[in-house]
Structure 1
């Protein structure tokens, strides 16, 4: 009866109209009681395994550009094609952005496995292992169909039920029992954990698989471990006992073409320590670059259990039928031929059920970036033999990880003023901290990150304490935009790091500061204008710290479309982050170290104030993070960032008792504010730019970005109104909400980047009519800071509903999408800015004093 009822309800949930105001997760939660899954939380992203998304989108391509924009960018296309051919066909390397081979949308991904910065594996919401990042920053999108969990039920020695827990029916592996009915199961994600609940038709048995990764705020040890735990809880609601078997199969290979070259090999292990034992098999992958070892293991099974640790098989269903029983001593230690290996646990259940625990971990022999080593090797060594110890540690510590995760998430989940969609978005968007091509490495003792300029000369220590103690951290702009620590985008995403792992946020800042003083005179062609310029100019913030397919940190600025030394936002975003980070951490040494670098980049920035009115001007091309949207003269976006940065320089000068610097920037601020209001304020909002061209009075959703950082940095009304009058900010935000949000797609898709005053999107560029998810979350945070909580929530909700519920882009939130049909750059860094919303919510009146979890204090 239970299964029949669930079948009906899951059918209703999986066939609902996703345009309905009720979300899929909310509908499913009505139908699925806490009794139908072991410990599944109420909040999170939930989906039936039989669900099919109605909306199918395609990646942005050249043919999607308007005729006028296409004509304008013909020269860029020709230069890019020549460069792309040389890169891919002659150098045999992947381009940092591949415009000809954009990733197609696969609506399959779930929460990634593993800790921060040691590689990642993604298990999809239907249970398939389908995305691999075990070569740092380089992704392999391949579903390895044989990597599965299989269940077998026996009664009185006879098999009564057997099933591969996959809805797939592949043309291979015909001896396996495929085709589990997805209408009897659902997936639930609340990152860093996920649950899959399987109801076995006709058996009165429920399986709950809980996936746990050690992603824990303010934890700099366990959060670095490349390991995940699968906890299987079996609920037997029959009045008789059953023997339950769960088998975990994994191929020695990731579906990569190099698998066929051979050389992979396998070996079993057994480790007993502190009265806890773990047994498994090591799958050694002999890749040409960065060879690695996968480890699958099982433990935590009581003395009544029967273990079959490893065996090469062609048909796991046949192995289940045989019910082989081996003792630990029967497992040899010799190397075995490549093949299919599994960990097999059998246990007689009580009337209430039983639990099995599996561990998946990996160890990558890193050949990357001048002798650096993974952060986790600080605890487990560099020889590649740590997997047994790592799996044992995971087995004995995952319950503590979950306690820490519960303690962190509980205050937000129990806040009745926050909507369910927001709680899901806030935690699930954190997937990118792990699955953003992320690397977290330790430095050699003799490494120097200062760029060669010492503190006495206005530079940095060779190894600042935070870098020495916590290592270096880098993540990609996006899985398709392969550049590490892209700084104009990190500006938005950095809220997640500074609030949850502040030492990593500061480490990134030290790296950027060291790069400011460096100079790479190598002349390089800029694809946009066809001119040559140095790869890196001294005195400016780099666009990024390099390509993972090259030598990041050594060769910066993999981005070569524009000469970013002329960009107007990078230097300013550095200054704004420095003060915000100081405000949230109260790290005085950090502020002192950053102060001379801030003065350097602001001196460089002052050259963009051509007329000396205290306000910088844009150059007439796309010279900021909106690198496809031209801007001329003083602009709302860059001009606002400039005023906010000048305001921050005043604040820092006062903290550090530099009165002469304070007076200088105070004068600039007063003149700049007057020019900003005179040139850009139109009575309702700030114009896009001051050029007077036909689109200069467009409404930009991101026009208050500078003000947003002032608010996030604790500046009150008296402080920030020196730069932006409160009444003008509120009027501008209201205009953005009315036009960019509510007049765009019926208010259901977030905020479009550019909107005309008459209520139609600005289609003057390839980016002005896009929605940028990370920008929308930052805009929502700005609204919340100004007391526009309902408007801010409505704005951000549109993005979440569109991405996670209608478009099927879970765990691959894109940089951008248009109103219809198109998306761009799947799995992108910027949406981590949703944590700026949480910072704003923490600062609500009467919300109470912020805690260490709310801000970046360790």
Structure 2
């Protein structure tokens, strides 16, 4: 009797331990947790660079299905058997059965949002009739998200771990078209429990929320040594169609797997009921195949080498359904891993989802589909490499999250990194990358009802200039962006098309518009990327057109008197053309001149080096002497010029954006340091709005109520123009991040962190999605300027050309990444001497010297190699 009593206590303790230990995956880092109302808008995209995504919602649902070559926020591939409203969409659900009790099913989602309670036929939420969990909690450090499901009457704990591989410096491993969902289930009772997790995804190949329709779609059960699952294909959609491809829902589980290649097509709501009753009976699925073998004739094509006929009661988008059943001992935890994979090869050139009659868009293809034959191969390869992919992803994110960098900088940098992996970015069949400004929603704008799957075609240079995510995490990909700009977008006279046409070889320069900020910014980025890569061969390849683009500044329409100052019409990211000298174009121009001088010097082009340096010196002195008003820089509009859509005397939020980018490239100051620092203090003083209830905004509203943010321009000295540039009253996160990061670079850390915090407070999960910062469209490219806050705070600079690395001298453990390698540096010591422990976590790093900014430097006797994983210690004495 005593043994039984002790055993029951032991089991109870085991269960208690498991409840505590299973709350979160302790190996996965967490940056932020969302719960209650702050879950409403949370939707984290899952997918790879250039592949499209599907998002995991804060309550466990799958939403925003954007895997078919177009941005389609809001699209959910539900099939409706009772129109207009009874529908079933993708879901995962839990079956559980305790001994001597009836079996139960709960959809693995939290409660339906209150905003979805009310419609013409009741709730319009998909799967709203499913029994569900009472509460969820969402914890994330992108791309790792965990969801805990809570219900007082459910005898098991359930946690979802969802992610996709993200590995610094490896755009292919970070470009896998996969969403991974791992459910961890823990038995909290003293008796065994039967459980089964089922997933359902409709085979909706052929329709993407914009165009097309499914036709002859079928599902097939398959298995191999790595995976079991349902392969989705079509026999009816044209193989050249933008929506043609394959999908797969698979599991790596070795437990008892059952499946349905479709559901029974019945009247009324009985189709769902039949599935539910079947699954409830024993946690297993009974198949309802839509193909029946027919040895006499071919009625609709061939399938797997055998002849089949199609059932008359076929569902157009047959549900691919997969279940994994297992028994949990008391206190035991088990995992069930599912993978959703896809393969859609037919991307059209700058496709906005609204084909024009009679206009055939060229197929530019997808790079990721050249790496795999179909969605089944994606799943097979991913399963084979699963542990390595997860471990490398967790190692990267943990290295950042566990560093002594302020949380808001880590959160902003990681959360906006997802923009690089959304439909904002794609890679054509040849591997070259391109980007929209932002992606579209199938619902369009509520004001004006304009719709587009992509907003702002052409990797718009004056937008993409702001982002600092790609170069520091995926250096090779960043260099490929420079290839598209300088090998294909520079015209004969040196003018650079600031929107790149596709197909590239035929239409790269077809957009005959030049942007002064865009063109100068790409030159600075070419210098930065060369420094990070050390690739002299690539620099030499790009140099003729870099030089030509730089010369256009004075042979074209901008600096026509060649004095280092732009006076001519300067088209820019405000979608207007400044006339006369102004700070925004001045800083871009000066930084480009300085970068060009350094590249020319390295390539022994002494004449051009001197020419650029002379213009830089002359222009920099003139700007500081003539347009700095003691508090900030202002535009000098020529006498008699048209003042419509100009800045004038305004204090512009990003007036020093060229200096910001120069700092990320370690170019030093291009304007007077004191003036620069005074200007940033003025921006914080005059442009920060702390209550938008009291602010007049005449254009788009990206901040409302009592939110805070930096507006585009203020007029503290009066003289607001009657018709100023259109965006002057708005806030936009990319401008805020670049300015906030610049403040941190200048040592104004408190102000910079406040700027970042104000943005992230607006994207809090309740008011807006923390993984979707918009501007002209969703997941806007400019918001990836957020990453710059990380190197700004640490003072990190790296040159593969000179083999040098730099950091601020502040004690702590800091993350670093140069686009190829990443790692940590630990700094400790006194005013006289610092101990450094440097680690490279994913590859060998070669250094000639290591500098602590404003403290000291160590020059190694010969090039020192820091091998992968080694912790190398050395001392720096204060100089």
Q: What is the TM-score when the length of structure 1 is the normalising length?
A: 0.74
Q: 1:691 to 1:798 in 2, by over 3 A?
A: farther
Mapping of residues 606-685 of structure 1, within 5 Å: 606=554, 607=556, 608-619=558-569, 623-628=571-576, 631-685=578-632
Aligned-pair RMSD on alpha carbons?
A: 3.5
Contact 1:750 1:797 survives alignment (8 Å): no
Residue 705 of structure 1 corresponds to which residue in structure 2? 657
Alignment pair present for 1:833 and 2:802 = no
Residue 277 of structure 2 corresponds to which residue in structure 1? 318
Instruction: After TM superposition, give the deviation of residue 393 of structure 1 in Å.
Output: 2.2
Residue 460 of structure 2 corresponds to which residue in structure 1? 486
Q: In structure 1, what is the Cα distance between the partners aligned to 2:433 and 2:603? A: 28
Q: 1:260 to 1:323 in 2, by over 3 A?
A: farther
**Partner SS, residue 75 of structure 2:** coil
Residue 540 of structure 1 corresponds to which residue in structure 2? 495
**Partner SS, residue 465 of structure 2:** helix
Unaligned runs of 5+ in 1: 1-31, 54-106, 444-470, 520-537, 816-823
Instruction: After TM superposition, give the deviation of residue 517 of structure 1 in Å.
Output: 3.8
Mapping of residues 570-585 of structure 1, within 5 Å: 570-585=518-533
Q: In structure 2, what is the Cα distance between the partners aligned to 1:377 and 1:367? A: 10
Instruction: After TM superposition, give the deviation of residue 676 of structure 1 in Å.
Output: 0.8
**Partner SS, residue 710 of structure 2:** coil
Q: In structure 2, what is the Cα distance between the partners aligned to 1:792 and 1:759? A: 26
Q: In structure 1, what is the Cα distance between the partners aligned to 2:505 and 2:133? A: 46
Q: 1:324 to 1:664 in 2, by over 3 A?
A: closer
Alignment pair present for 1:271 and 2:263 = no
Q: 1:715 to 1:176 in 2, by over 3 A?
A: closer
Instruction: After TM superposition, give the deviation of residue 578 of structure 1 in Å.
Output: 0.9
Q: In structure 1, what is the Cα distance between the partners aligned to 2:152 and 2:649? A: 61
Q: For 1:752-771, what per-residue CA distance to the aligned partner results, in whole angstroms no more than 9, with x for missing partners? A: 11012259999934311111
Residue 301 of structure 1 corresponds to which residue in structure 2? 253
Q: For 1:234-293, what per-residue CA distance to the aligned partner results, in whole angstroms no more than 9, with x for missing partners? A: 0221111111111111112277578995513223232323xx342323243855622434
Q: In structure 1, what is the Cα distance between the partners aligned to 2:817 and 2:309? A: 47
Residue 154 of structure 1 corresponds to which residue in structure 2? 97
Q: 1:206 to 1:553 in 2, by over 3 A?
A: farther
Alignment pair present for 1:741 and 2:683 = no
Q: For 1:328-358, what per-residue CA distance to the aligned partner results, in whole angstroms no more than 9, with x for missing partners? A: 9999976864332311111111222211111
Contact 1:270 1:280 survives alignment (8 Å): yes
Q: In structure 1, what is the Cα distance between the partners aligned to 2:231 and 2:530? A: 47
Residue 333 of structure 2 corresponds to which residue in structure 1? 353
Residue 667 of structure 2 corresponds to which residue in structure 1? 715
Bigger radius of gyration:
2
1:407 to 375, 392, 395: 395
Q: In structure 1, what is the Cα distance between the partners aligned to 2:212 and 2:593? A: 58
Q: For 1:735-774, what per-residue CA distance to the aligned partner results, in whole angstroms no more than 9, with x for missing partners? A: 1122223667599523211012259999934311111211
Residue 124 of structure 1 corresponds to which residue in structure 2? 57
Q: 1:230 to 1:178 in 2, by over 3 A?
A: same
Q: 1:631 to 1:517 in 2, by over 3 A?
A: closer
Instruction: After TM superposition, give the deviation of residue 615 of structure 1 in Å.
Output: 0.6
Q: In structure 2, what is the Cα distance between the partners aligned to 1:350 and 1:558? A: 66
Q: 1:377 to 1:335 in 2, by over 3 A?
A: farther
Q: In structure 2, what is the Cα distance between the partners aligned to 1:662 and 1:349? A: 72
Q: For 1:65-114, what per-residue CA distance to the aligned partner results, in whole angstroms no more than 9, with x for missing partners? A: xxxxxxxxxxxxxxxxxxxxxxxxxxxxxxxxxxxxxxxxxx64511122
**Partner SS, residue 430 of structure 1:** helix
Instruction: After TM superposition, give the deviation of residue 584 of structure 1 in Å.
Output: 1.7
Alignment pair present for 1:499 and 2:459 = no
Residue 732 of structure 1 corresponds to which residue in structure 2? 679
2:106 to 151, 163, 167: 163
**Partner SS, residue 655 of structure 2:** coil
Contact 2:433 2:477 survives alignment (8 Å): yes
Q: In structure 2, what is the Cα distance between the partners aligned to 1:489 and 1:673? A: 24
**Which segment drifts farther, 769-778 or 366-375?**
366-375
Mapping of residues 191-340 of structure 1, within 5 Å: 191-253=142-204, 256=208, 261-273=213-225, 276-284=226-234, 286-287=236-237, 289-303=241-255, 305-308=256-259, 310-313=261-264, 314-315=271-272, 316-323=275-282, 337-338=314-315, 339-340=318-319
Residue 800 of structure 2 corresponds to which residue in structure 1? none
Alignment pair present for 1:604 and 2:596 = no
**Partner SS, residue 179 of structure 2:** strand
Mapping of residues 430-579 of structure 1, within 5 Å: 430-443=417-430, 471-480=431-440, 481-493=455-467, 495-518=468-491, 538-546=493-501, 551=503, 554-556=506-508, 564-565=513-514, 567-579=515-527
Q: In structure 2, what is the Cα distance between the partners aligned to 1:117 and 1:423? A: 23
**Partner SS, residue 374 of structure 1:** coil
Residue 825 of structure 2 corresponds to which residue in structure 1? none
Residue 774 of structure 1 corresponds to which residue in structure 2? 734
More helix by share: 1
Q: In structure 2, what is the Cα distance between the partners aligned to 1:137 and 1:612? A: 44
Q: In structure 2, what is the Cα distance between the partners aligned to 1:335 and 1:129? A: 33
**Partner SS, residue 812 of structure 1:** coil
Q: 1:757 to 1:411 in 2, by over 3 A?
A: same
More strand by share: 2
Alignment pair present for 1:792 and 2:756 = no
Q: 1:342 to 1:558 in 2, by over 3 A?
A: farther
Q: 1:128 to 1:299 in 2, by over 3 A?
A: closer
Instruction: After TM superposition, give the deviation of residue 474 of structure 1 in Å.
Output: 1.4
Instruction: After TM superposition, give the deviation of residue 140 of structure 1 in Å.
Output: 6.0
Instruction: After TM superposition, give the deviation of residue 637 of structure 1 in Å.
Output: 0.1
Q: For 1:440-464, what per-residue CA distance to the aligned partner results, in whole angstroms no more than 9, with x for missing partners? A: 2332xxxxxxxxxxxxxxxxxxxxx
Residue 764 of structure 1 corresponds to which residue in structure 2? 724
Residue 376 of structure 1 corresponds to which residue in structure 2? 368
Residue 842 of structure 1 corresponds to which residue in structure 2? 794
Q: What is the TM-score when the length of structure 2 is the normalising length?
A: 0.73
Q: 1:256 to 1:805 in 2, by over 3 A?
A: closer
Instruction: After TM superposition, give the deviation of residue 307 of structure 1 in Å.
Output: 2.9
Q: In structure 2, what is the Cα distance between the partners aligned to 1:291 and 1:265? A: 12
Q: In structure 2, what is the Cα distance between the partners aligned to 1:633 and 1:703? A: 14
Q: 1:241 to 1:556 in 2, by over 3 A?
A: same
Q: 1:203 to 1:326 in 2, by over 3 A?
A: closer
Instruction: After TM superposition, give the deviation of residue 851 of structure 1 in Å.
Output: 7.8
Contact 1:228 1:360 survives alignment (8 Å): yes
**Number of equivalences:** 696
2:379 to 378, 383, 391: 391
Q: In structure 2, what is the Cα distance between the partners aligned to 1:177 and 1:568? A: 52
Contact 2:532 2:818 survives alignment (8 Å): no
Residue 33 of structure 2 corresponds to which residue in structure 1? 46
Q: In structure 2, what is the Cα distance between the partners aligned to 1:228 and 1:771? A: 33
Q: 1:551 to 1:139 in 2, by over 3 A?
A: farther
Q: 1:828 to 1:306 in 2, by over 3 A?
A: closer
Q: 1:612 to 1:218 in 2, by over 3 A?
A: closer
Q: In structure 2, what is the Cα distance between the partners aligned to 1:230 and 1:790? A: 39
Q: 1:283 to 1:695 in 2, by over 3 A?
A: closer
Q: 1:828 to 1:264 in 2, by over 3 A?
A: farther
Q: For 1:339-395, what per-residue CA distance to the aligned partner results, in whole angstroms no more than 9, with x for missing partners? A: 3231111111122221111110111132545665432344324xxxx3223212222
**Partner SS, residue 492 of structure 1:** coil
Instruction: After TM superposition, give the deviation of residue 483 of structure 1 in Å.
Output: 0.8
Q: 1:52 to 1:500 in 2, by over 3 A?
A: closer
**Partner SS, residue 380 of structure 1:** coil
